[in-house]
Structure 1
Amino acid sequence: MIKLVNVNMNFRGKQVLKDINLTIEQGEIMVIIGPSGSGKSTLLRLIIGLLKPTSGEIWVNGREITTMTEDELNKIRLEMGMVFQYSALFDSMSVGENVAFGLRQHTDMPEEEIARTVRRKLRMVGLRGQETAMPNELSGGMKKRVSLARAIAIDPHIVLYDEPTAGLDPIMSNTINRLIVSTRRMIDATSVVVTHDMSSVFSIADRIAMIYGGSIIETGTPEKIRQSENPIMVKFIRGGSAESKGRSRV
Protein backbone atom coordinates (compact mmCIF):
# COMPACT_ATOMS: atom_id res chain seq x y z
CA MET A 1 0.00 0.00 0.00
CA ILE A 2 2.90 2.39 0.79
CA LYS A 3 6.48 2.12 -0.41
CA LEU A 4 9.38 4.51 0.16
CA VAL A 5 12.44 4.00 -2.03
CA ASN A 6 15.76 5.68 -1.21
CA VAL A 7 13.99 8.71 0.27
CA ASN A 8 16.14 11.60 1.45
CA MET A 9 14.90 14.84 3.01
CA ASN A 10 16.91 17.99 3.68
CA PHE A 11 15.83 21.08 5.61
CA ARG A 12 17.98 24.21 5.25
CA GLY A 13 21.07 22.15 4.51
CA LYS A 14 20.44 19.58 7.26
CA GLN A 15 19.69 16.02 6.24
CA VAL A 16 16.65 14.91 8.24
CA LEU A 17 15.98 11.57 6.50
CA LYS A 18 18.67 9.42 4.89
CA ASP A 19 18.05 6.66 2.35
CA ILE A 20 14.70 5.57 3.78
CA ASN A 21 13.46 2.28 2.35
CA LEU A 22 10.20 1.03 3.81
CA THR A 23 7.30 -1.07 2.53
CA ILE A 24 3.93 -1.06 4.34
CA GLU A 25 1.55 -3.80 3.34
CA GLN A 26 -2.17 -3.38 2.78
CA GLY A 27 -4.14 -3.67 6.02
CA GLU A 28 -1.18 -3.76 8.41
CA ILE A 29 -0.45 -1.45 11.33
CA MET A 30 3.09 -0.10 10.96
CA VAL A 31 4.38 1.76 14.01
CA ILE A 32 7.25 4.22 13.60
CA ILE A 33 9.33 4.86 16.72
CA GLY A 34 12.45 6.86 17.47
CA PRO A 35 13.78 9.82 19.47
CA SER A 36 12.32 13.30 19.11
CA GLY A 37 13.81 15.01 16.10
CA SER A 38 14.58 11.75 14.29
CA GLY A 39 12.23 12.48 11.39
CA LYS A 40 9.13 10.44 12.27
CA SER A 41 6.58 13.21 11.72
CA THR A 42 8.43 14.31 8.59
CA LEU A 43 7.89 10.79 7.26
CA LEU A 44 4.12 11.14 7.75
CA ARG A 45 4.09 14.48 5.94
CA LEU A 46 5.96 12.93 3.03
CA ILE A 47 3.48 10.04 2.78
CA ILE A 48 0.50 12.39 2.68
CA GLY A 49 2.24 14.68 0.19
CA LEU A 50 2.54 17.77 2.38
CA LEU A 51 6.29 17.65 1.77
CA LYS A 52 8.28 16.52 -1.24
CA PRO A 53 11.49 14.59 -0.64
CA THR A 54 14.84 15.94 -1.72
CA SER A 55 15.28 12.65 -3.59
CA GLY A 56 13.71 9.22 -3.81
CA GLU A 57 10.29 7.79 -4.62
CA ILE A 58 7.10 7.48 -2.58
CA TRP A 59 4.44 5.07 -3.80
CA VAL A 60 0.89 5.12 -2.44
CA ASN A 61 -1.50 2.41 -3.59
CA GLY A 62 0.55 1.81 -6.72
CA ARG A 63 1.08 5.47 -7.66
CA GLU A 64 4.30 7.45 -7.37
CA ILE A 65 3.34 10.75 -5.71
CA THR A 66 6.52 12.85 -5.63
CA THR A 67 6.00 14.27 -9.13
CA MET A 68 2.26 14.81 -8.81
CA THR A 69 0.58 18.20 -9.07
CA GLU A 70 -1.38 19.54 -6.10
CA ASP A 71 -4.67 18.61 -7.78
CA GLU A 72 -3.43 15.06 -8.30
CA LEU A 73 -2.23 14.88 -4.69
CA ASN A 74 -5.62 16.07 -3.44
CA LYS A 75 -7.24 13.07 -5.12
CA ILE A 76 -4.75 10.77 -3.39
CA ARG A 77 -5.40 12.48 -0.04
CA LEU A 78 -9.08 11.61 -0.34
CA GLU A 79 -7.95 8.03 0.25
CA MET A 80 -6.16 9.02 3.47
CA GLY A 81 -7.20 10.12 6.93
CA MET A 82 -4.94 11.92 9.41
CA VAL A 83 -5.20 11.95 13.21
CA PHE A 84 -3.11 14.85 14.46
CA GLN A 85 -1.14 14.93 17.71
CA TYR A 86 -3.24 17.73 19.19
CA SER A 87 -6.50 16.69 17.47
CA ALA A 88 -6.62 19.90 15.35
CA LEU A 89 -10.38 20.31 15.70
CA PHE A 90 -12.09 23.50 14.51
CA ASP A 91 -13.02 25.24 17.77
CA SER A 92 -15.87 27.18 16.17
CA MET A 93 -17.54 24.02 14.85
CA SER A 94 -19.52 21.41 16.75
CA VAL A 95 -18.34 17.82 16.97
CA GLY A 96 -20.74 16.85 14.18
CA GLU A 97 -19.56 19.69 11.95
CA ASN A 98 -15.93 18.70 12.52
CA VAL A 99 -16.61 15.10 11.50
CA ALA A 100 -18.66 16.23 8.49
CA PHE A 101 -16.07 18.78 7.31
CA GLY A 102 -14.26 16.55 4.80
CA LEU A 103 -17.50 15.07 3.51
CA ARG A 104 -18.86 18.53 2.74
CA GLN A 105 -15.60 19.73 1.21
CA HIS A 106 -14.79 16.76 -0.98
CA THR A 107 -17.99 14.87 -1.78
CA ASP A 108 -21.44 15.53 -3.22
CA MET A 109 -23.07 13.52 -0.45
CA PRO A 110 -26.58 14.79 0.49
CA GLU A 111 -26.91 16.34 3.94
CA GLU A 112 -29.13 13.51 5.15
CA GLU A 113 -26.45 10.98 4.27
CA ILE A 114 -23.73 13.14 5.82
CA ALA A 115 -25.72 13.24 9.06
CA ARG A 116 -26.08 9.45 9.04
CA THR A 117 -22.37 9.01 8.36
CA VAL A 118 -21.45 11.38 11.19
CA ARG A 119 -23.66 9.49 13.64
CA ARG A 120 -22.19 6.16 12.53
CA LYS A 121 -18.58 7.30 12.83
CA LEU A 122 -19.18 8.82 16.27
CA ARG A 123 -20.72 5.54 17.41
CA MET A 124 -17.63 3.73 16.14
CA VAL A 125 -15.38 5.82 18.41
CA GLY A 126 -17.73 5.64 21.41
CA LEU A 127 -19.21 9.13 21.15
CA ARG A 128 -22.83 8.40 20.36
CA GLY A 129 -25.04 11.49 20.62
CA GLN A 130 -22.20 14.03 20.86
CA GLU A 131 -22.91 15.76 17.53
CA THR A 132 -23.85 19.12 19.07
CA ALA A 133 -21.06 19.29 21.67
CA MET A 134 -18.32 21.89 21.15
CA PRO A 135 -14.60 21.04 21.28
CA ASN A 136 -14.05 23.18 24.39
CA GLU A 137 -16.51 20.94 26.24
CA LEU A 138 -14.51 17.78 25.56
CA SER A 139 -11.69 16.05 27.40
CA GLY A 140 -8.40 15.37 25.64
CA GLY A 141 -9.38 11.76 25.01
CA MET A 142 -12.74 12.74 23.56
CA LYS A 143 -11.04 15.22 21.22
CA LYS A 144 -8.74 12.45 19.99
CA ARG A 145 -11.76 10.27 19.28
CA VAL A 146 -13.50 13.07 17.36
CA SER A 147 -10.29 13.53 15.36
CA LEU A 148 -10.34 9.80 14.55
CA ALA A 149 -14.02 9.93 13.56
CA ARG A 150 -13.24 12.83 11.21
CA ALA A 151 -10.25 10.96 9.75
CA ILE A 152 -12.31 7.86 8.91
CA ALA A 153 -15.47 9.68 7.77
CA ILE A 154 -14.66 9.01 4.11
CA ASP A 155 -13.62 5.37 4.75
CA PRO A 156 -9.99 5.98 3.76
CA HIS A 157 -7.64 3.25 2.57
CA ILE A 158 -4.86 4.68 4.77
CA VAL A 159 -5.00 6.27 8.24
CA LEU A 160 -1.98 8.15 9.59
CA TYR A 161 -1.64 8.77 13.33
CA ASP A 162 0.78 11.33 14.79
CA GLU A 163 1.35 10.59 18.50
CA PRO A 164 -2.28 9.48 19.04
CA THR A 165 -1.88 8.85 22.80
CA ALA A 166 0.24 11.91 23.65
CA GLY A 167 -1.00 13.65 26.79
CA LEU A 168 -3.52 10.95 27.68
CA ASP A 169 -3.75 8.90 30.86
CA PRO A 170 -3.12 5.13 30.61
CA ILE A 171 -6.82 4.23 30.57
CA MET A 172 -7.62 6.61 27.70
CA SER A 173 -4.43 5.57 25.90
CA ASN A 174 -5.66 1.98 25.98
CA THR A 175 -9.01 3.15 24.61
CA ILE A 176 -7.31 4.91 21.68
CA ASN A 177 -5.14 1.85 21.03
CA ARG A 178 -8.22 -0.37 20.86
CA LEU A 179 -9.83 2.08 18.46
CA ILE A 180 -6.79 2.01 16.18
CA VAL A 181 -6.99 -1.78 15.99
CA SER A 182 -10.78 -1.88 15.60
CA THR A 183 -10.69 0.84 12.93
CA ARG A 184 -8.30 -1.27 10.88
CA ARG A 185 -10.74 -4.15 11.14
CA MET A 186 -13.90 -2.16 10.42
CA ILE A 187 -12.73 -0.22 7.37
CA ASP A 188 -9.80 -2.45 6.30
CA ALA A 189 -7.43 0.49 6.54
CA THR A 190 -3.65 0.44 6.36
CA SER A 191 -2.37 2.30 9.43
CA VAL A 192 0.87 4.20 10.05
CA VAL A 193 1.35 5.25 13.67
CA VAL A 194 4.09 7.54 14.99
CA THR A 195 4.44 7.25 18.77
CA HIS A 196 6.81 7.41 21.74
CA ASP A 197 4.47 5.27 23.86
CA MET A 198 6.14 1.86 23.98
CA SER A 199 3.15 0.21 25.67
CA SER A 200 1.06 1.34 22.71
CA VAL A 201 3.67 0.09 20.25
CA PHE A 202 3.57 -3.50 21.48
CA SER A 203 -0.22 -3.59 21.82
CA ILE A 204 -1.10 -2.40 18.31
CA ALA A 205 1.80 -3.03 15.91
CA ASP A 206 1.99 -5.67 13.24
CA ARG A 207 5.48 -4.37 12.49
CA ILE A 208 7.72 -1.71 13.97
CA ALA A 209 10.33 0.50 12.30
CA MET A 210 12.81 2.57 14.31
CA ILE A 211 14.29 5.78 12.95
CA TYR A 212 17.51 6.99 14.53
CA GLY A 213 19.63 9.81 13.17
CA GLY A 214 17.36 10.07 10.14
CA SER A 215 17.80 6.43 9.11
CA ILE A 216 15.76 3.29 9.70
CA ILE A 217 18.02 1.14 11.86
CA GLU A 218 15.68 -1.82 12.38
CA THR A 219 12.31 -3.13 11.19
CA GLY A 220 10.42 -6.16 12.41
CA THR A 221 7.53 -7.71 14.27
CA PRO A 222 7.04 -6.84 17.95
CA GLU A 223 8.60 -10.20 18.86
CA LYS A 224 11.68 -9.50 16.76
CA ILE A 225 12.03 -5.98 18.16
CA ARG A 226 11.75 -7.25 21.74
CA GLN A 227 14.63 -9.64 21.03
CA SER A 228 16.77 -7.01 19.29
CA GLU A 229 20.42 -6.84 20.27
CA ASN A 230 20.90 -3.39 18.75
CA PRO A 231 22.01 -1.28 21.75
CA ILE A 232 20.12 1.79 20.52
CA MET A 233 16.90 -0.18 20.17
CA VAL A 234 17.36 -1.89 23.54
CA LYS A 235 17.95 1.44 25.28
CA PHE A 236 14.96 3.05 23.61
CA ILE A 237 12.61 0.22 24.53
CA ARG A 238 13.75 0.28 28.15
CA GLY A 239 13.15 3.98 28.66
CA GLY A 240 14.13 6.11 25.73
CA SER A 241 17.38 7.19 24.22
CA ALA A 242 19.48 9.70 26.11
CA GLU A 243 20.24 11.38 22.78
CA SER A 244 16.54 12.23 22.39
CA LYS A 245 16.51 14.53 25.40
CA GLY A 246 16.56 18.22 24.67
CA ARG A 247 16.24 17.78 20.91
CA SER A 248 13.54 19.63 18.99
CA ARG A 249 10.82 17.68 17.25
CA VAL A 250 11.08 17.66 13.44
Structure 2
Amino acid sequence: MIELKNVNMNFRGNQTLKDINLTIEQGEIMVIIGPSGSGKSTLLRMIIGLLKPTSGEVWVNNREITQMPEDELNKIRLEMGMVFQYSALFDSMTVGENVAFGLRQHSDMPEEEIWRTVRRKLRMVGLRGKENAMPNELSGGMKKRVSLARAIAIDPHIVLYDEPTAGLDPIMSNTIDRLIVSTRRMIRATSVVVTHDMSSAFSIADRIAMIYGGSIIEIGTPDVIKQSENPIVAKFIRGATALPESKGRSRA
Protein backbone atom coordinates (compact mmCIF):
# COMPACT_ATOMS: atom_id res chain seq x y z
CA MET A 1 0.00 0.00 0.00
CA ILE A 2 2.89 2.39 0.81
CA GLU A 3 6.51 2.15 -0.25
CA LEU A 4 9.42 4.54 0.22
CA LYS A 5 12.43 3.85 -1.99
CA ASN A 6 15.85 5.38 -1.25
CA VAL A 7 14.24 8.50 0.21
CA ASN A 8 16.46 11.37 1.31
CA MET A 9 15.35 14.72 2.67
CA ASN A 10 17.56 17.76 3.15
CA PHE A 11 16.17 20.74 5.04
CA ARG A 12 18.13 23.97 5.49
CA GLY A 13 21.41 22.17 4.93
CA ASN A 14 20.60 19.29 7.30
CA GLN A 15 19.81 15.77 6.13
CA THR A 16 16.54 14.94 7.89
CA LEU A 17 16.05 11.52 6.30
CA LYS A 18 18.78 9.26 4.91
CA ASP A 19 18.26 6.38 2.47
CA ILE A 20 14.84 5.40 3.80
CA ASN A 21 13.49 2.14 2.38
CA LEU A 22 10.19 1.06 3.87
CA THR A 23 7.28 -1.07 2.64
CA ILE A 24 3.92 -1.00 4.43
CA GLU A 25 1.49 -3.75 3.46
CA GLN A 26 -2.22 -3.31 2.86
CA GLY A 27 -4.15 -3.51 6.14
CA GLU A 28 -1.00 -3.35 8.27
CA ILE A 29 -0.51 -1.16 11.35
CA MET A 30 3.02 0.19 11.02
CA VAL A 31 4.30 2.11 14.02
CA ILE A 32 7.19 4.57 13.62
CA ILE A 33 9.21 5.27 16.77
CA GLY A 34 12.29 7.34 17.50
CA PRO A 35 13.46 10.36 19.52
CA SER A 36 12.25 13.89 18.84
CA GLY A 37 13.77 15.34 15.69
CA SER A 38 14.60 11.95 14.18
CA GLY A 39 12.38 12.48 11.11
CA LYS A 40 9.19 10.62 12.06
CA SER A 41 6.73 13.42 11.30
CA THR A 42 8.66 14.31 8.15
CA LEU A 43 8.05 10.78 6.92
CA LEU A 44 4.30 11.14 7.56
CA ARG A 45 4.18 14.41 5.63
CA MET A 46 5.90 12.74 2.69
CA ILE A 47 3.36 9.93 2.60
CA ILE A 48 0.50 12.41 2.42
CA GLY A 49 2.37 14.53 -0.13
CA LEU A 50 2.84 17.68 1.95
CA LEU A 51 6.62 17.36 1.59
CA LYS A 52 8.62 16.13 -1.38
CA PRO A 53 11.87 14.25 -0.78
CA THR A 54 15.15 15.66 -2.04
CA SER A 55 15.62 12.32 -3.78
CA GLY A 56 13.91 8.95 -3.90
CA GLU A 57 10.37 7.76 -4.55
CA VAL A 58 7.18 7.60 -2.51
CA TRP A 59 4.57 5.10 -3.74
CA VAL A 60 0.98 5.09 -2.48
CA ASN A 61 -1.32 2.33 -3.71
CA ASN A 62 0.96 1.62 -6.68
CA ARG A 63 1.29 5.30 -7.69
CA GLU A 64 4.49 7.32 -7.39
CA ILE A 65 3.44 10.66 -5.88
CA THR A 66 6.56 12.82 -5.67
CA GLN A 67 6.21 14.19 -9.21
CA MET A 68 2.42 14.32 -9.32
CA PRO A 69 0.68 17.62 -10.13
CA GLU A 70 -1.31 19.02 -7.21
CA ASP A 71 -4.73 18.17 -8.66
CA GLU A 72 -3.80 14.48 -8.96
CA LEU A 73 -2.19 14.52 -5.54
CA ASN A 74 -5.41 15.89 -4.04
CA LYS A 75 -7.23 12.84 -5.41
CA ILE A 76 -4.71 10.59 -3.65
CA ARG A 77 -5.22 12.53 -0.40
CA LEU A 78 -8.94 11.76 -0.56
CA GLU A 79 -7.95 8.14 0.06
CA MET A 80 -6.18 9.14 3.29
CA GLY A 81 -7.28 10.30 6.73
CA MET A 82 -5.05 12.15 9.18
CA VAL A 83 -5.31 12.25 12.97
CA PHE A 84 -3.24 15.18 14.19
CA GLN A 85 -1.25 15.32 17.42
CA TYR A 86 -3.36 18.14 18.87
CA SER A 87 -6.62 17.05 17.19
CA ALA A 88 -6.78 20.25 15.04
CA LEU A 89 -10.53 20.66 15.40
CA PHE A 90 -12.26 23.82 14.21
CA ASP A 91 -13.22 25.56 17.47
CA SER A 92 -16.08 27.51 15.88
CA MET A 93 -17.76 24.34 14.57
CA THR A 94 -19.74 21.72 16.46
CA VAL A 95 -18.43 18.17 16.72
CA GLY A 96 -20.80 17.10 13.95
CA GLU A 97 -19.71 19.92 11.66
CA ASN A 98 -16.06 18.99 12.24
CA VAL A 99 -16.71 15.39 11.24
CA ALA A 100 -18.78 16.51 8.24
CA PHE A 101 -16.19 19.00 7.00
CA GLY A 102 -14.33 16.69 4.62
CA LEU A 103 -17.53 15.17 3.28
CA ARG A 104 -18.87 18.61 2.39
CA GLN A 105 -15.61 19.71 0.84
CA HIS A 106 -14.84 16.62 -1.21
CA SER A 107 -18.09 14.82 -1.99
CA ASP A 108 -21.50 15.42 -3.54
CA MET A 109 -23.19 13.51 -0.73
CA PRO A 110 -26.66 14.86 0.16
CA GLU A 111 -26.87 16.62 3.51
CA GLU A 112 -29.10 13.91 4.98
CA GLU A 113 -26.55 11.23 4.07
CA ILE A 114 -23.71 13.37 5.46
CA TRP A 115 -25.42 13.49 8.85
CA ARG A 116 -26.12 9.76 8.81
CA THR A 117 -22.40 9.24 8.18
CA VAL A 118 -21.45 11.69 10.93
CA ARG A 119 -23.63 9.90 13.48
CA ARG A 120 -22.30 6.51 12.41
CA LYS A 121 -18.66 7.56 12.70
CA LEU A 122 -19.25 9.16 16.10
CA ARG A 123 -20.82 5.92 17.30
CA MET A 124 -17.75 4.04 16.07
CA VAL A 125 -15.49 6.15 18.32
CA GLY A 126 -17.83 6.03 21.32
CA LEU A 127 -19.29 9.53 21.01
CA ARG A 128 -22.93 8.79 20.25
CA GLY A 129 -25.10 11.90 20.61
CA LYS A 130 -22.21 14.41 20.70
CA GLU A 131 -22.98 15.98 17.30
CA ASN A 132 -23.98 19.34 18.80
CA ALA A 133 -21.22 19.65 21.39
CA MET A 134 -18.50 22.27 20.90
CA PRO A 135 -14.80 21.32 21.01
CA ASN A 136 -14.21 23.46 24.11
CA GLU A 137 -16.69 21.25 25.99
CA LEU A 138 -14.65 18.11 25.35
CA SER A 139 -11.76 16.46 27.17
CA GLY A 140 -8.47 15.85 25.38
CA GLY A 141 -9.35 12.21 24.80
CA MET A 142 -12.75 13.09 23.37
CA LYS A 143 -11.14 15.58 20.98
CA LYS A 144 -8.80 12.84 19.76
CA ARG A 145 -11.81 10.62 19.11
CA VAL A 146 -13.56 13.38 17.16
CA SER A 147 -10.39 13.82 15.13
CA LEU A 148 -10.42 10.10 14.38
CA ALA A 149 -14.11 10.20 13.39
CA ARG A 150 -13.34 13.07 11.00
CA ALA A 151 -10.36 11.19 9.55
CA ILE A 152 -12.41 8.07 8.79
CA ALA A 153 -15.57 9.86 7.61
CA ILE A 154 -14.58 9.29 3.97
CA ASP A 155 -13.70 5.61 4.58
CA PRO A 156 -10.03 6.13 3.64
CA HIS A 157 -7.70 3.37 2.48
CA ILE A 158 -4.93 4.82 4.66
CA VAL A 159 -5.07 6.48 8.11
CA LEU A 160 -2.07 8.40 9.42
CA TYR A 161 -1.72 9.11 13.14
CA ASP A 162 0.69 11.72 14.55
CA GLU A 163 1.26 11.02 18.27
CA PRO A 164 -2.35 9.90 18.87
CA THR A 165 -1.89 9.29 22.62
CA ALA A 166 0.22 12.38 23.40
CA GLY A 167 -0.99 14.19 26.53
CA LEU A 168 -3.51 11.52 27.50
CA ASP A 169 -3.70 9.54 30.72
CA PRO A 170 -3.05 5.77 30.56
CA ILE A 171 -6.76 4.86 30.56
CA MET A 172 -7.59 7.17 27.65
CA SER A 173 -4.40 6.10 25.84
CA ASN A 174 -5.63 2.50 26.01
CA THR A 175 -9.00 3.64 24.63
CA ILE A 176 -7.31 5.33 21.66
CA ASP A 177 -5.17 2.22 21.06
CA ARG A 178 -8.27 0.04 20.94
CA LEU A 179 -9.91 2.48 18.52
CA ILE A 180 -6.89 2.37 16.19
CA VAL A 181 -7.06 -1.43 16.08
CA SER A 182 -10.85 -1.55 15.72
CA THR A 183 -10.79 1.13 13.00
CA ARG A 184 -8.36 -0.99 10.98
CA ARG A 185 -10.75 -3.90 11.32
CA MET A 186 -13.93 -1.96 10.52
CA ILE A 187 -12.76 -0.01 7.46
CA ARG A 188 -9.82 -2.28 6.51
CA ALA A 189 -7.47 0.68 6.41
CA THR A 190 -3.70 0.61 6.34
CA SER A 191 -2.43 2.55 9.37
CA VAL A 192 0.81 4.45 9.98
CA VAL A 193 1.28 5.61 13.57
CA VAL A 194 4.04 7.94 14.79
CA THR A 195 4.46 7.70 18.57
CA HIS A 196 6.82 8.03 21.53
CA ASP A 197 4.53 5.84 23.62
CA MET A 198 6.14 2.41 23.72
CA SER A 199 3.24 0.81 25.56
CA SER A 200 0.96 1.97 22.75
CA ALA A 201 3.43 0.89 20.07
CA PHE A 202 3.72 -2.65 21.41
CA SER A 203 -0.05 -2.88 21.90
CA ILE A 204 -1.18 -1.93 18.39
CA ALA A 205 1.67 -2.62 15.95
CA ASP A 206 1.96 -5.37 13.41
CA ARG A 207 5.49 -4.05 12.82
CA ILE A 208 7.59 -1.27 14.30
CA ALA A 209 10.29 0.77 12.56
CA MET A 210 12.73 2.87 14.58
CA ILE A 211 14.22 6.01 13.06
CA TYR A 212 17.38 7.44 14.58
CA GLY A 213 19.47 10.18 13.06
CA GLY A 214 17.23 10.16 9.99
CA SER A 215 17.78 6.45 9.21
CA ILE A 216 15.76 3.34 9.91
CA ILE A 217 17.99 1.35 12.24
CA GLU A 218 15.60 -1.50 13.11
CA ILE A 219 12.33 -2.87 11.81
CA GLY A 220 10.29 -5.88 12.85
CA THR A 221 7.41 -7.21 14.89
CA PRO A 222 6.99 -5.99 18.49
CA ASP A 223 8.74 -9.14 19.72
CA VAL A 224 11.70 -8.52 17.39
CA ILE A 225 12.00 -4.92 18.62
CA LYS A 226 11.79 -5.98 22.28
CA GLN A 227 14.64 -8.44 21.73
CA SER A 228 16.78 -6.14 19.57
CA GLU A 229 20.51 -6.27 20.16
CA ASN A 230 20.96 -2.77 18.72
CA PRO A 231 21.99 -0.70 21.78
CA ILE A 232 20.16 2.39 20.52
CA VAL A 233 16.88 0.51 20.12
CA ALA A 234 17.29 -1.29 23.44
CA LYS A 235 17.91 1.95 25.33
CA PHE A 236 15.11 3.83 23.59
CA ILE A 237 12.38 1.28 24.29
CA ARG A 238 13.46 1.13 27.94
CA GLY A 239 13.28 4.90 28.32
CA ALA A 240 16.99 5.67 28.68
CA THR A 241 17.69 9.34 29.38
CA ALA A 242 20.45 9.46 26.75
CA LEU A 243 21.10 7.49 23.57
CA PRO A 244 24.50 6.46 22.20
CA GLU A 245 26.22 8.82 19.78
CA SER A 246 26.67 6.09 17.17
CA LYS A 247 23.89 6.11 14.57
CA GLY A 248 24.28 2.43 13.67
CA ARG A 249 23.52 1.00 10.26
CA SER A 250 20.27 1.62 8.49
CA ARG A 251 18.34 -1.50 7.63
CA ALA A 252 14.82 -1.56 6.31
Superposition TM-score tier, normalisation by shorter sequence: over 0.9
> Alignment identity in percent?
89
Could you tell me whether the CA contact under 8 Å between 2:80 and 2:156 is conserved in 1?
yes
Using the alignment, how far apart are the partners of 1:70 and 1:241 within structure 2?
42
Using the alignment, how far apart are the partners of 1:16 and 1:128 within structure 2?
42
Instruction: Tell me whether 1:224 sits opposite 2:224 in the alignment.
Output: yes
Instruction: Tell me whether 1:91 sits opposite 2:70 in the alignment.
Output: no
Using the alignment, how far apart are the partners of 1:100 and 1:81 within structure 2?
13
Q: Shift of residue 240 of structure 1?
A: 4.3
Q: Shift of residue 242 of structure 1?
A: 1.5
Counterpart for residue 5 of structure 1: 5
Give the counterpart letter for 1:33 in structure 2.
I
Give matches, 1:73-112, under 5 Å.
Answer: 73-112=73-112
Could you tell me whether the CA contact under 8 Å between 2:122 and 2:130 is conserved in 1?
yes
Using the alignment, how far apart are the partners of 1:223 and 1:199 within structure 2?
13
Instruction: Tell me whether 1:113 sits opposite 2:134 in the alignment.
Output: no
Using the alignment, how far apart are the partners of 1:203 and 1:14 within structure 2?
34
Give 5+ residue unaligned stretches, structure 2.
Answer: 245-252
Instruction: Tell me whether 1:153 sits opposite 2:153 in the alignment.
Output: yes
Could you tell me whether the CA contact under 8 Å between 2:235 and 2:243 is conserved in 1?
no
Using the alignment, how far apart are the partners of 2:10 and 2:110 within structure 1?
44
Could you tell me whether the CA contact under 8 Å between 2:84 and 2:164 is conserved in 1?
yes
Using the alignment, how far apart are the partners of 1:31 and 1:121 within structure 2?
24
Counterpart for residue 171 of structure 1: 171
Could you tell me whether the CA contact under 8 Å between 1:8 and 1:53 is conserved in 2?
yes
Using the alignment, how far apart are the partners of 1:65 and 1:78 within structure 2?
14
Instruction: Tell me whether 1:182 sits opposite 2:215 in the alignment.
Output: no
Superimposed CA distance per residue, residues 195-242 of structure 1 (whole angstroms, 9 cap, x where no aligned partner)? 000000100000000000000001000111111000000000101451
Counterpart for residue 162 of structure 2: 162
Using the alignment, how far apart are the partners of 2:216 and 2:227 within structure 1?
17
TM-score between both structures, scaled by the size of structure 2: 0.96
Q: RMSD of the TM alignment (CA)? A: 0.9
Could you tell me whether the CA contact under 8 Å between 2:29 and 2:190 is conserved in 1?
yes
- Judged with a 3 Å threshold, the aligned counterparts in structure 2 of structure 1 residues 75 and 26 are, in CA distance, closer, same or farther, namely same
Aligned residues: 244
Q: Shift of residue 93 of structure 1?
A: 0.3
The runs of at least 4 consecutive aligned structure 1 residues that moved more than 4 Å come to none
| SS of the residue 2:56 aligns to | strand
